[in-house]
Amino acid sequence: MSAPSLRSRLAAQGIDGTTLLLLPGLIFILALFIYPFAFGVIDSLRPKDGGAWYANYAKFFGDPYQYGTIAATLWLALPVTIVNLALAVPIAFRVRLMHRQRLLTTILVLPITLGTVFVADGLLTFLGPRGWFNHVLMLLGILHEPLKLTNNYWGVFASLLITGFPFAFLLTLSYVSGIDPAIEQAAATLGAGARQRFQRIFLPLLVPGLAVTFCLSFVQAYAVFPSAVLLGAPAGPTRVISIAAYQAAFEQYDHSMGSAIALVMGGVELVVVVLILALRSLFYRGPAGGTKG
Amino acid sequence: MNAVAEHASPVAGVSRIGGRLELDGLRRSFGAYNALAGIDIAIEPGEFIALLGPSGCGKSTALNCIAGLLELTGGEIRLGGRRIDQLEPEKRGFGMVFQSYALFPHMSVRKNVGFGLAMQGIKGPEAEKRIRDALAMVRLESQADKLPGQLSGGQQQRVAIARAIVIRPPIVLMDEPLSNLDAKLRLEMRAEIRAIHDQIGSTTIYVTHDQDEALSLADRIVVMSQGHIQQVGTPEELYQRPVNLTVADFMGFRTRMPGRIVSVTGGEAEIEVDGSRFRGLARESLQVGQSAVLAIRPEDLVASATGPGIAATVVSIEYRGRAFFGLARTAAGAELYFRADEPLSRGSAAYLSPAPGRALIFRDDAA
């Protein structure tokens, strides 16, 4: 009896011609993710001015002006993410029941197409001291002097909200509409009022999806850069971590330090994502549809 | 001091729970479309009612209106004389079983079944006992700690039934509960559902498009079509004496032969089909000369290789245990489903004659 050919042995392991289809993706990931990432790691470990391999990190964490950016960015990204989710969930619940979902969804998703610079420019005009917002409130006599809403924390906050919401909303809507409506109806016939249905049925089924939405929205917000410069106070409260990295790399021409700061940024994001996903694992994560319907 | 022992289990008494359910001029429209065009029926406590009809006939809409999941656009629903159609579903206290089972996927079987009790504020040993009893009734005691996703389709539907009956609802609503199960399981569950109904004493309203299911389960069947009730009656009444062609169609009168009324005497009429004359029970008022349809079940239209009878050619034939069943086509093109006691061959001539007293004659609405 002859041994099976190499081809059939490989096929038994699930390797055949189709496996080659992975190749373009693999090359893409290697060239545009793994290589730059490894390059950045190595670069960050070779400080410009010599010294120990960890000198860049020691410098970053030894200087409050630098390490303070971690908290400043968290202070923006976390509230924005939470507010975005808090807005997305009820709106998604309402939209789920509507017949003409598409129009509303399109309007809500529109900001995603605008780009951060355009949004920043628009907000400067709208929320600025001489903008419509302050104008109207002063005309109505609600305000006596304009509120300062740009070139500070709130300007960046508003811009992140506008660009981040469509994303959070679309994801949430897909999770909400993935729940079999009969499950809610069953809960209703068993005596659960709207509030109990939300707390006991929807929320536990949504948590895993909301966790993923949170992670993606958070990472997006944590990487804020243009709006922090254009709408914020980049020398003060909205000196976010990406600005620190930018300044090191392109103003002080210390790309090694820039890489180190970028890696710290990635590390913080990773910690938050891991935390959230760990929390998620405490909840049910199976399908939320009618199991075999 | 033992409150549990004092409390009657649903198994113990077969007392009838709740009052008479009255649907009075029930209407529901979706835009210009009338899904329910005025439904009137009174259902006695403890009855097993089947709503039977093709998809889109309004039977599920009616069930959802009774459950409170759909608002009415007209009419009233009363339970024991009290109007309930403006109550939220959670205030009605009816148990409902869905086609997709609709179990809570993140809760164990025990928690699923206990959900309705928790909503009523029933906790502790009392709740545990009732959950145990309900699971015993559907024979799932050993699966109590599993998640729904770990159960088979039949088991999931049994959990759904336990979840609906554990709250001791006056009315149990079932929306095609067996249609996702395979044929064998369907038959088993059918018997179980009827047994559970008899045990708990609730009224059951059961939606189905399967006439066998309706005939074998229900005390009374409500045949619906296009938002109207066509006929209400016991399985025997519907099976023997459907009031019109729509109901006859649902009751298995597959063969229809269009013809012309030759004579009408009392409850009977004579119809001429392709030159042959047949007698049948007149189910609607008929006049001589009128176009009409003779309807008969395949098992009552007997084919043989020699006359007399309607001449036709055998198109297909299959053996089904005791007899052969097949399809024949007349020269005029009419398709007739028949029974034969001998194996007629495909393409051969056959002569078909209705068994006496089994043919029904209806007005031909299409003519």
> Which class in CATH covers the domain with range A70-280?
mainly alpha
Q: Tell whether B213 and B231 lie within a shared domain.
A: yes
Q: What percent of chain A has pLDDT over 70?
A: 97
Interface residue A286 vs chain B (CB under 8 A): yes
Q: What is the pLDDT of residue B331?
A: 85
Q: What is the pLDDT of residue A185?
A: 94
Q: What is the pLDDT of residue A289?
A: 55
The pLDDT-based confidence of B143 (bands split at 50, 70, 90) is very high
Q: Which residue has the higher pLDDT, A216 or B311?
A: A216
The pLDDT-based confidence of B307 (bands split at 50, 70, 90) is confident
The answer to whether the complex's ipTM is over 0.90 is: no
Residue B212, CA atoms < 13 Å, CB-side half-sphere:
7
- Summarised one tens digit per residue, pLDDT across range B45-59 is 999 999 999 988 999
In a domain, B347, yes or no: yes
For chain B, give me the number of helices (H) and strands (E)?
10, 20
Q: What is the pLDDT of residue A1?
A: 54
**Mean pLDDT across the stretch B48-77?**
94
Q: What is the pLDDT of residue B146?
A: 94
**DSSP state string for A200-248:** IIIHHHHHHHHHHHHHHHHHHHHT--HHHHHTS-TTTTT--HHHHHHII
In a domain, B296, yes or no: yes
Q: Tell whether B192 and B280 lie within a shared domain.
A: no
The pLDDT-based confidence of A24 (bands split at 50, 70, 90) is very high
Q: What percent of chain B has pLDDT over 90?
A: 67
Q: Tell whether B272 and B234 lie within a shared domain.
A: no
Alpha-carbon gap, residue A248 to A258, rounded angstroms = 5
Q: Tell whether B180 and B314 lie within a shared domain.
A: no
Average pLDDT in chain B: 89
- Residue given tokens 């198994």 in the structure block: B11
Which one of B104, B146, B161, B181 would you mutate to disrupt binding with A, by most A Cβ within 10 Å of its Cβ? B104
What's the distance, Cα to Cα, between the start and end of chain A in Å?
48
Which one of A100, A180, A189 would you mutate to disrupt binding with B, by most B Cβ within 10 Å of its Cβ? A189
Tell me the C-alpha to C-alpha distance, in Å, between residue A45 and each of A234, A251, A257, A260.
27, 20, 9, 8
Q: Are strands B74-79 and B21-30 parallel, antiparallel or unpaired?
A: antiparallel
Q: How many structural domains does chain B have? A: 2
- Find the domain containing B185 and state its range: 3-94+169-245
Residue A252, CA atoms < 13 Å, CB-side half-sphere:
14
Structure tokens at B18: 């709740």
- Summarised one tens digit per residue, pLDDT across range A122-166 is 999 999 888 899 999 999 988 888 889 888 999 999 999 998 999
Q: What percent of chain A has pLDDT over 90?
A: 63
The pLDDT-based confidence of A214 (bands split at 50, 70, 90) is very high
Q: Name every chain A residue with its beta carbon within 8 A of the beta carbon of B165.
A: none
Supply φ then ψ for residue B242, to 5 degrees.
-65, 140
Final residue of a domain: which of B227, B245, B263? Answer: B245
- Summarised one tens digit per residue, pLDDT across range B80-89 is 999 999 999 9
Choose among A209, A212, A222: nearest CA to A269: A222
Q: Name every chain A residue with its beta carbon within 8 A of the beta carbon of B71.
A: none
Q: How far is CA A147 from the centre of its chain?
A: 28
Q: What is the pLDDT of residue B9?
A: 36
- Residue given tokens 């243009």 in the structure block: A226
Choose among B306, B309, B316: nearest CA to B346: B316
Q: What is the pLDDT of residue A10?
A: 84
The answer to whether the beta carbons of residues B170 and B47 sit under 8 Å apart is: no
The answer to whether the beta carbons of residues B343 and B319 sit under 8 Å apart is: yes
Q: Where are the beta strands (DSSP E) in B104-254?
A: 171-175, 203-208, 220-225, 228-233
Determine whether the interchain pair A185/B98 forms a contact, defined as Cβ–Cβ distance below 8 Å.
yes
Domain of B188: which CATH number?
Answer: 3.40.50.300
Q: Which residues of B232-258 are buried (b: 16+ CB within 10 A; e: fewer)?
A: bbebeebbeebbbbbbbbbbbbbbbbb
Domain of B293: which CATH number?
Answer: 2.40.50.140
The answer to whether the beta carbons of residues B198 and B228 sit under 8 Å apart is: no
Choose among A189, A62, A16, A120: nearest CA to B171: A189
Alpha-carbon gap, residue A252 to A132, rounded angstroms = 39
Q: Are strands B33-43 and B360-363 parallel, antiparallel or unpaired?
A: unpaired
Q: Tell whether B84 and B183 lie within a shared domain.
A: yes
Interface of B with A (CB under 8 A): 67-69, 88-90, 92-96, 98-106, 115-116, 119-120, 147-149, 153, 156, 160, 163-164, 167, 173, 180
Q: Tell whether B57 and B180 lie within a shared domain.
A: yes
pTM listed for this prediction? 0.82
Q: Tell whether B259 and B303 lie within a shared domain.
A: yes
In a domain, B163, yes or no: no
Q: Tell whether B292 and B230 lie within a shared domain.
A: no
Three-state secondary-structure class, residue B228: strand
Nearest Cα of chain B lies from the Cα of A119 at a distance, in angstroms, of 41
Where exactly are the structural domains of chain A? 70-280
